[in-house]
Chain A
Amino acid sequence: MSRPRDNRSALVTVTAEAVVAPARWHAPGPGTAGGGPALLPGGGGVAVGVHMGDEVGRWLGDHLMPGACVEDRADGQPGPGSVHLLACLGNRVRSASGDLLGVVAGKRGGLAPGFLPPSLLAVEAPDERLSHIGPGDRVMVETTGRGLQLTDHPGVCLSNVSPVLLDLLPVQARGSRLAVAVTAWLPPWAAGSGVGQDAWIGDLDIADEEALAGQSLRYGDLVAFQDFDSSAGRFRRPGYVSVGLVCHGPGRGDGHGPGACILMSGPATELTAVPGPASLGPQLAELAARPSPPQRVPKERNA
């Protein structure tokens, strides 16, 4: 048993601009059969005090993500642009001053083609930094991870995984098969909003409370969708498994629920999800809280 080899030495890092998204009220959603739509925060803005590792049910929110929501710069509400598409979980995010703000810890959006917004990235960061930013602020995302592949597992498709996150993932190579630990194992019909959309856009909602059997989820938990492929679109495909990281809290409308950003998928012959406590929440929070490395701006030489 060993950690899998990968092609990270071939990856490039591209700094992409994003802006902190305003808090938005998305009305009217489908609501629920049990009552009218609830007016709760969660669409954009900065959620000070909400962090990776928290129980998603702790907060009264609707699709609430930890930390700051950032998005592509655009007039009006943007669809998924370059920063949404290139960003991977674990990517560093700098504030306008150049200091480390935090790390990308989730994605939200991708209800269906043609109905893409919101297209948000969650930035996990310590509260003292979150308290100093607000909607409209520029941030820089050091995007890297797109193209990442596991050298000896060509059938496993990685999406939204940076090399830093890959090193945190509880994966083990068992011969030609890759085993990943997950906290929850979901049937394909538990997948709700987000089916039919590309894996690198937004997330996939867990829309069946019964599938969780009373289990509470935390931001950062790894979950597996059984008989589900996410290599080209997110869709039911017998014999495949998709693994995601819980990044937004319950959605209050029917067909919505806690959302997972898809990290990997593949045929069960090459990828297997094994039960176990598997949460990257604390590690992502710790990664985000690291002090900013000293700036290395070269002094201009005298001519």
Chain B
Amino acid sequence: MSRPVATEPPTNAARLVRTRLAGVVSPASANAVVSPAGRAEVLPGQGGVLTSVQLGDAATGWCSDHLEVGASVQHPEPAADQALQVLACVGNQAVVLDGPAALARGMVAGKHSGLMIAFPPSALALIGPGDRVVVEAFGAGLQLTGEDQVVLHSCDPALLGWLLDGTEPGGRLRVRIAAQFSREAAGAGLGMPASRFNLDLDPALARDPATGAAADLRLGDVVAVVDQDHRRGRRFRSGWLAVGVLCHGRSAAGGHGVGMATLLTAPAGRLSLAGDATANLRSFWLAAAT
């Protein structure tokens, strides 16, 4: 599989280790949620295999709670699961090991309590909970050369090359994003380690960076959140930006929303955010597969 290289930012990727990690497709969850209006509902939740909604489809509007892209993978042993959840990076390749979809190839598309792996619809139609999946983990420890204040998480080096769009004359890194969230958007996920899980964002507070209009959010969108520092734990900090990919759908519960797996964080002055409607992980995936 060839990898798209829009730009080749200087990194330490040559020193990073590739590790094959195993996981198991997790069972589906039924989530009991109460809306701010007090309405209780039971909805399909995280886990399992999502066959009806793909990377690139709308992130909101579904009758679901925290719907996860593709197949959700975990490891039954806590320490091994921790390794899988931390070391796997968005953009990494994955392959189904057993069951009727054996040898089907996919790509890590996000992080929640489990790892989300996008597969083609033909593979998703055959994958089920209990099937084993191997992820070729690559990217933990990735660092942009000479950019000490830019911290990367869960980012495959090839994805980083696709994410960055060169450098401004003043030296700022250009990052292509599909939507930008205001500081008030951050919800559940605050206080949790940025290398795992994700940050829930209020979809009503997303703006199209090009027009300023309400953003039309899609699963896989590259998005930025204002005043978030994700170097270690996810926290509010004025003057910082966090960039990531939308990987799970919204929730009816207050304080929850669409989930952004963190890829990059930096002082706002180091980045130049460029609105780009094609800044969606599906574009990277399709380019990587050709």
Contact yes or no, A233 B191, CB < 8 A: no
Out of A30, A197, A251, name the residue touching B234 (CB < 8 Å): A30
Does A126 interact with chain B (Cβ within 8 Å)?
no
Convert A101-122 into 0s and 1s, putting 1 for each residue whose CB lies closer than 8 angstroms to a CB of B: 0000000000111110000000
Does B35 interact with chain A (Cβ within 8 Å)?
yes
Q: How far is the CA of A232 from the CA of B38 in the complex (A)?
A: 7
Contact yes or no, B184 A251, CB < 8 A: no
Does B202 interact with chain A (Cβ within 8 Å)?
yes
Which chain B residues lie closer than 8 Å to A194 at the CB level?
Answer: 191
Interface residues of A in 225-253 (CB under 8 A from B): 227, 229, 231-237, 251, 253
Convert B13-48 into 0s and 1s, putting 1 for each residue whose CB lies closer than 8 angstroms to a CB of A: 000000000000000000000111110000000000
Convert B242-254 into 0s and 1s, putting 1 for each residue whose CB lies closer than 8 angstroms to a CB of A: 0000000000011
Interface residues of A in 191-229 (CB under 8 A from B): 191-197, 205, 207-208, 210, 227, 229
Does B269 interact with chain A (Cβ within 8 Å)?
no
Q: How far is the CA of A10 from the CA of B193 in the complex (A)?
A: 44
Which chain B residues lie closer than 8 Å to A233 at the CB level?
Answer: 34, 36, 253-256
Closest B-chain residue to A208, C-beta based?
B236
B247 to chain A, nearest CB (A): 16
Out of A114, A115, A236, A255, name the residue touching B235 (CB < 8 Å): A255
Does A32 interact with chain B (Cβ within 8 Å)?
yes
Contact yes or no, B236 A111, CB < 8 A: no
Closest A-chain residue to B35, C-beta based?
A232
Which chain B residues lie closer than 8 Å to A32 at the CB level?
Answer: 232-233
B149 to chain A, nearest CB (A): 10
Q: How far is the CA of A28 from the CA of B232 in the complex (A)?
A: 11
Contact yes or no, B255 A195, CB < 8 A: yes
Contact yes or no, A207 B236, CB < 8 A: yes
Interface residues of B in 215-260 (CB under 8 A from A): 227, 229, 231-238, 253-256
B135 to chain A, nearest CB (A): 21
Does B179 interact with chain A (Cβ within 8 Å)?
no
Which chain B residues lie closer than 8 Å to A191 at the CB level?
Answer: 190
Which chain A residues lie closer than 8 Å to B101 at the CB level?
Answer: none
A98 to chain B, nearest CB (A): 38
Closest B-chain residue to A255, C-beta based?
B191
B169 to chain A, nearest CB (A): 29
Q: How far is the CA of A298 from the CA of B128 in the complex (A)?
A: 63
Contact yes or no, B254 A192, CB < 8 A: no
Q: How far is the CA of A205 from the CA of B188 in the complex (A)?
A: 12
12 A-B residue pairs with CB within 8 Å: A29-B233, A30-B232, A30-B234, A33-B229, A192-B190, A193-B191, A207-B236, A234-B254, A235-B36, A236-B255, A254-B229, A255-B192
B residues lining the A interface (CB < 8 Å): 34-38, 113, 183-184, 186-194, 197, 200, 202, 227, 229, 231-238, 253-256
